[in-house]
């Protein structure tokens, strides 16, 4: 028996490769499938099954490309309806992987088709369970992603999730290994733990959702304090259900090197965005006017999906050699309209004498010096409302980054304001600054280190919490 977790940190996603006697299965593959093909080739195995735990909302699965490359059967749980060929398994149905057996456990709640896969070893003993978004380390999947037309409330799905956990998960032996689809940072739950695997016994002791409680108490615990899901979640779920273009075709179209005249021509089109994927610190030093910064060093795909429209073209400015990576990571969340990249990157633009823009970086102590004496100074905090509520610069304006593609979110920002933008650590604030610049507001500064550095200023920068403001 061989099991390997293939974890992708930037989107907190875990896929799994399982193998026995030269027969392999992959669970919840990403859209870029090379890692699974290389692993099977290296181990002289044949991928026979692709198991999907549900219609993923936070990434586009690689099920179609992997099935086309291997001839493997795509397996979903009960109640699944797709627009491409799959095997819709029955609850309790078994699949043989060499000397191993995988049983399908239908566990609706996160979605209606959500299913877990219980793996039995060569002796027939339950060894591990692959829970998708039904059960995480320290959390459970959010129950507010009912697909359009399902006519189910968040509370309805949470009630289903309670029954699924009680009937299918709680009876499992404590030593069964838990392999979830996501880890910390994922928006598929409220507060996932830092570990990427656990045991059923450990979760019975520590996971709030598995503690003795009534269904009513469970529903309240799971639904309370649940932030709105990222806007791209329903788009990705629909793509996974309906199908998509092959990744190779997306790469072929996106890896078109554009010279400066071609790049400028494309950028002039009303349906085209310039996306700069260089590091945030490089972007602030200089960029092509109108560019949106989303650096590869952060949660790149998640922020691209949350901020950029899927129905418009994207042209890329990248660090030389990062063009393919940028396209693949965009494709992971469903972007397919990437039409090229600037040949030679930003340096080529500068060397051609083209116009540039920049963002002034300042340390937190400079904000502390300016704050008492500048009546036009406006602090824009782009963290989530919950982060802002736990502590912020007094009188700061909270515009969560998620909202900033809506020009109306910046209606109260004016050019005469001296705007200081910050987030928690510095990544989101550069994205936000680029969006503010696109609105024609240029008198702004990016606070390096964000709230983490602002707090270190102590009394030099007055702060407040939401509770203090309300009082």
- Residue 271 and residue 133 share a domain: no
Q: What is the pLDDT at residue 468?
A: 61
Query: Which residue, 329, 351, 373, sits at the end of a domain?
Result: 351
Specify whether 127 is located in the same domain as 230.
yes
- Give the chain's mean pLDDT: 95
Residues 435 and 309 in one domain: no
Give a yes or no: residue 240 inside a domain: no
H-type alpha helices, 403-465: 427-438, 450-455
392 shares its domain with 414: yes
Would residue 68 count as lying in a domain?
Answer: yes
Residue 370: its H or E element: helix 364-370
Q: Which pLDDT band holds residue 145 (cuts at 50, 70, 90)?
A: confident
- Local structure of residue 121 (DSSP, 8 states): -
Please tell me whether residues 16 and 130 are part of one structural domain: yes
Same domain, 276 and 136: no
228: confidence class by pLDDT, cuts 50, 70, 90: confident
pLDDT of the residue at 414: 86
Query: Which of 136-150, 210-224, 368-382 has the lowest average pLDDT?
Result: 136-150
466 and 425 part of one domain? yes
Same domain, residue pair 271 and 145: no
Q: The CATH number of the domain where 326 resides is what?
A: 3.40.250.10
Asked whether residue 219 carries a pLDDT value surpassing 90, the answer given is yes
How many domains, the chain? 3
List all residues 6 or more positions away from 356 whose beta carbon is below 8 Å from its beta carbon: 286, 287, 288, 289, 349, 350
471 or 397, which is more confident? 397
Q: What is the DSSP string of 46-107?
A: EEEEEE-SS--SSS-BSHHHHHHHH-PEEEE-TT---SS--EEPPTT-EEEETTEEEEEEE-
Query: Of the ranges 157-161, 402-406, 427-431, 451-455, which one carries the lowest mean pLDDT score?
Result: 402-406
Residue 446: the pLDDT is 98
CA torsion angle 236 241 246 249 (round to 10): -60
- For the cut 90, the answer to whether the pLDDT of residue 16 exceeds it is yes
- Domain endpoint, select from 193, 214, 235: 235
215 and 74 within one domain: yes
- pLDDT value of residue 471: 40
Q: What is the pLDDT of residue 113?
A: 96
CATH number of the structural domain spanning residue 112: 3.60.15.10
Cα dihedral angle (168, 174, 179, 184), rounded to 10 degrees? 100
pLDDT at 357 over 50: yes
**355-365: average pLDDT:** 97
147 in a structural domain = yes
Residue 396 within a domain: yes
Q: How confident is the model at residue 147 (pLDDT cuts 50, 70, 90)?
A: low
379 belongs to a structural domain: yes
Model confidence at 106: pLDDT above 90: yes
Mark whether 261 and 223 lie in a shared domain.
no
Residue 253 CA, distance from chain mean position:
24
Residue-level pLDDT at 467: 60
Does some domain include residue 295? yes
* pLDDT attached to residue 415: 83
Radius of gyration of the chain (CA): 24
Give 408's pLDDT tier (boundaries 50, 70, 90).
Answer: confident
pLDDT band at residue 470 under the 50/70/90 scheme: very low
- For 164, 266, 294, 344, the CA distances from 160, given in Å and listed in that order, are 6, 49, 38, 53
* 403 part of a folded domain: yes
**3-class SS shares of the chain: helix, strand, coil, % to 5:** 35, 25, 45
Residue 443 lies in a domain: yes
- For residue 3, give the 3-state DSSP assignment: strand
pLDDT, average across residues 68-86: 96
Residues 368 and 347 in one domain: no
Q: Give the residue from 308, 324, 351 where a domain finishes.
A: 351
> What mean pLDDT is predicted for residues 13-40?
98
Q: Which domain holds residue 434?
A: 360-470
pLDDT band of residue 379 (cuts 50, 70, 90) is very high
pLDDT of residue 411: 85
Whether 287 and 410 map to the same domain: the answer is no
| pLDDT over threshold 90, residue 31 | yes
């Amino acid at each position: 028996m061989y099991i390997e977790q293939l974890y992708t940190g930037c989107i907190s996603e875990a896929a799994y490769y399982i193998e026995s006697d030269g027969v392999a299965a992959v669970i919840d593959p990403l859209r870029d499938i090379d890692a699974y093909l290389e692993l099977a080739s290296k181990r002289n195995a044949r991928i026979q099954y692709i198991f999907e735990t549900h219609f993923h909302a936070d990434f586009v699965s690689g099920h179609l490309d992997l099935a086309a490359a291997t001839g493997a059967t795509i397996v979903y749980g009960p109640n699944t309806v797709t627009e491409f060929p799959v095997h819709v398994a029955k609850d309790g149905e078994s699949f043989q992987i060499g000397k191993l057996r995988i049983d399908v456990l239908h566990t609706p709640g996160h979605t209606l088709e959500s299913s877990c896969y219980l793996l039995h070893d060569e002796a027939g003993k339950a060894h591990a369970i692959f829970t998708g978004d039904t059960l995480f380390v320290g959390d459970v999947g959010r129950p507010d992603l009912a697909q359009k037309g399902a006519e189910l409330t968040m509370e309805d799905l949470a009630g289903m999730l309670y029954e699924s956990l009680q009937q299918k998960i709680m009876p499992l032996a404590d030593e069964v290994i838990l392999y979830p689809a996501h880890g910390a940072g994922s928006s598929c739950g409220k507060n996932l733990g830092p570990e990427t695997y656990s045991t059923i016994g450990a979760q019975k002791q520590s996971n709030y959702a598995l503690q003795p409680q009534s269904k009513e108490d469970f529903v309240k615990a799971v639904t309370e304090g649940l932030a709105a899901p990222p806007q791209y979640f329903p788009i990705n779920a629909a793509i996974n259900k309906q199908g998509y273009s092959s990744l190779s075709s997306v790469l072929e179209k996106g890896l078109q090197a554009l010279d400066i005249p071609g790049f400028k021509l494309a950028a002039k089109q009303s349906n085209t965005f310039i996306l700069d994927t260089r590091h945030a610190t490089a972007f602030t030093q200089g960029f092509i006017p109108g560019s949106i910064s989303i650096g590869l060093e952060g949660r790149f795909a998640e922020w691209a999906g949350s901020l950029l429209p899927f129905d418009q073209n994207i042209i890329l400015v990248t660090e030389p050699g990062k063009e393919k990576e940028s396209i693949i990571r965009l494709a992971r969340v469903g972007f397919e309209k990437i039409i090229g990249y600037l040949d030679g990157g930003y340096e080529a633009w500068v060397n051609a004498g083209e116009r540039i823009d920049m963002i002034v970086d300042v340390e937190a102590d400079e904000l502390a010096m300016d704050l008492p004496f500048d009546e036009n100074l406006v602090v824009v905090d782009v963290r989530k409302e919950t982060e802002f509520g736990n502590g912020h610069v007094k009188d700061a304006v909270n515009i969560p980054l998620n909202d900033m593609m809506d020009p109306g979110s910046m209606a109260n920002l004016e050019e005469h304001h001296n705007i200081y933008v910050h987030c928690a650590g510095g990544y989101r604030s550069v994205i936000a600054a680029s969006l503010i610049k696109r609105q024609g507001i240029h008198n702004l500064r990016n606070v390096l280190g964000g709230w983490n550095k602002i707090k270190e200023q102590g009394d030099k920068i007055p702060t407040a919490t939401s509770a203090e403001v309300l009082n």
